[in-house]
Amino acid sequence: MPGLRGDVPVQPGADEARRWLVHELAKPEYAQDPSLLERFLDWFTGLFDGAPTLDLHRGLAALAVVAVVVVVAVVAYRVAGPVRLSRKGAPSAVVLDEDDRSAAELRAAADSAAAAGDWATAVLERFRAVVRSLEERALVEPRPGRTAREAAEAGGDRLPDVAADLTTAAHLFDDVCYGKRTVGPDADASLRALDARAAATRPTARAGLAGVAS
C-alpha cells in the first residue's frame, strides 16, 4: 500500500526506537537539558521491550514521540502546579465570624482561660481581642469571614510598627486553631504584649486621606 513500508515497524524494537528518538530529540529545540533527555529516552525506549511490531513510516513514529513528550509535560505541569499552590496557600482560620464580643470581653475570656491553664483558648481569645480592638478603633473594617492572616495584613497596613508581630501572631493563631502547635504561658504573654503595643501605637494615615491632607 502507498505510504507503508514493509520493512519499517510501527512499534520498533528498543534499539531502533532509541535511535529514532535520539535523531528527533537531539535537535536544538529539545537540547536544553541533555541529562533530562537521556533519562526520558531510557524510560521511553523501555516501553518497547517485548512489544509486537507493525508497519509505519518513521516520520509518523517521530511525531508520536513528540506528542508523548508534550502530553507528559502538560500532565506534569497540571499535577505539580496545584501542589506548589497548595504549599504556598496554606489555610488561615477565620477570626471573628459571628462573634460580637467586645475587645474587653475577649480579653476577659482570655484571662479566664489563662487562669485555668487553658493556654490554647487564651491564645485564641487574645488574638481575637487584638483584632476586635483594631475594628473598634476603626483601623480595620469589620468583615465576616476575615481570616487571621487577612486581619494581620489589614492591621499592619495601618500599624506598620507592629505589622511583623501581627503576622507572627496570626500564624500562631492558625497553628493553635488547627491543632498544629502546643502552647503555654509564653505564647499568651507574647499576645498580651502585642495587644498593649498595638493599643499604644498611632496609625498611619490612609492613602486617600494623606493625599487630601497634603
Task: Please write the tens of the pLDDT for every residue from 137-179.
Answer: 999 999 989 999 999 999 999 999 999 999 999 999 999 999 9
Instruction: Mark whether 21 and 116 lie in a shared domain.
Output: no
Structural contact between residues 9 and 56, judged by C-beta atoms closer than 8 angstroms: yes
Q: In the predicted model, what is the mean pLDDT of residues 31-47?
A: 58
Choosing from 88, 113, 147, the residue where a domain stops is: 88
Instruction: Mark whether 81 and 48 lie in a shared domain.
Output: yes
Q: What is the pLDDT of residue 97?
A: 85
Q: In the predicted model, what is the mean pLDDT of residues 199-211?
A: 68
Structural contact between residues 195 and 173, judged by C-beta atoms closer than 8 angstroms: no
Domain span at 23 = 14-88
Choosing from 64, 88, 112, the residue where a domain stops is: 88
Q: What's this model's pTM, rounded to 2 decimal places?
A: 0.57
Instruction: Note whether residue 9 is domain-resident.
Output: no
Closest CA to 95 of 157, 160, 155: 155
